Structure 1
Amino acid sequence: MDAVDRARHRDDLGDSGLVTIALTGLLAKLALGDLRGAAAYSRELTNLMRIRGLIGAVSSFGLGEFAAARSLPDQAVSFYERAGEELRSVKATTWLPWRSGLARVIAGRGEIAPATALVEAELAQARTLDAPYAIAYALRTQAAIAPTSDRVTLLSEALEVLEGTAAARLDAQIRTDLAAWLLLLHPQESARAVDLLRSAEKYARQEELAPLLGRIRWLLERLGEAPDGELPGRLAELSAAERRVAQLVVVGKRNREIAVELGVSVKSVEWHVSHILRKLAITSRTELADALAQPRQPR
Structure 2
Amino acid sequence: MPTPPPPRPERGRFAPSPTGPLHFGSLLAALGSWLYARRAGGQWLVRIEDLDPPREVPGAAAAQLRTLHAFGLVPDGEVLYQSSRGEAYRAALERLLANGDAFVCHCSRAALAATGGIHRRCVAETPRPDPAVRLRVRPATRVAYRDLIQGAVSQDLAEEVGDFVLRRADGCWAYQLAVVVDDAAQGITEVVRGADLLASTPRQIHLQQRLGLSSPRYAHLPLALDDHGRKLSKSLSSLPVDEADPLPALRAAWAMLGQPAAPIASAGSPSALLSAAQRAFDPALVPRGREASLAATHNGNVTAPS
Q: TM-score, normalised by structure 1?
A: 0.27
More relative contact order in 1 or in 2 (CA 8 Å, sep 6+)? 2
Bigger strand share: 2
Q: Which has the larger radius of gyration?
A: 1
